[in-house]
Amino acid sequence: MCATSCNRRNDVQLLVQVGGEACSHFRLREFENPEGLAMIHATTLDSLERVRRDLCAMAGEEVWVIITDAVRTQADLERLAARLGWADQGGLVARESKHLARFGGIAVDIVAVVKRTRERVPQKTLGEVCRRHFDWVKDDYQDGHVHGDNRDRGK
């Protein structure tokens, strides 16, 4: 539909000061939903940069933090629930998902990969690091991703 005109859609480098240092390792398009709508809360960007910084320090080399899901519309959520089920019916999708746009872009799902080897950082390791920098973390998903959100700071 917009294969050429959308190439630079949300192609915007995001910048945040972390401990007096300017950090800019994420682009707005990484936070897009399937329609290209993107939203990211300032505190969540800050948390992501801190998680990346800690992972790089631990590994002693560059680690990529990859966003697998960020903001969702109600329609996105319903599509996901059709596949994974609603949490109150034994599934995986919370009806009050912090990914919903009305929470302001506070939630992200991530994985982390060592750049040089393309090796996945173990889910529990990533979860531990996320707990230092996000208000709320869930790290027991079967596909290996970690969910982090700033439900307190994002209010």
Residue 54's closest CA among 140, 148, 127? 127
Choose the binding region for Zn ion from 53-61, 104-112, 115-123, 127-135 (rule: CB under 5 A): 104-112
Decide: is 147 part of the binding site for Zn ion (CB under 5 A).
Answer: yes
Name which position in 30, 49, 76, 109 contacts Zn ion (CB under 5 A): 109
Q: Evaluate whether 71 touches 44 at the Cβ level (below 8 Å).
A: no
146-149 sheet: strands from edge to edge: 63-69, 107-114, 146-149, 136-138
Decide: is 139 part of the binding site for Zn ion (CB under 5 A).
Answer: no
Q: In whole angstroms, how close is the CB of 141 to Zn ion at the nearest point?
A: 8
Decide: is 41 part of the binding site for Zn ion (CB under 5 A).
Answer: no
- 35 three-class SS: coil
Segment holding 22, helix H or strand E: strand 21-27
Could you identify the residue written with the tokens 């746009």?
A: 101
Decide: is 135 part of the binding site for Zn ion (CB under 5 A).
Answer: no
Q: In whole angstroms, how close is the CB of 44 to Zn ion at the nearest point?
A: 12
Q: In whole angstroms, how close is the CB of 20 to Zn ion at the nearest point?
A: 30
Helices 42-59/123-133 angle, 10° precision = 130
Decide: is 72 part of the binding site for Zn ion (CB under 5 A).
Answer: no
Decide: is 49 part of the binding site for Zn ion (CB under 5 A).
Answer: no
Contacts with Zn ion by CB under 5 A lie at 109, 147
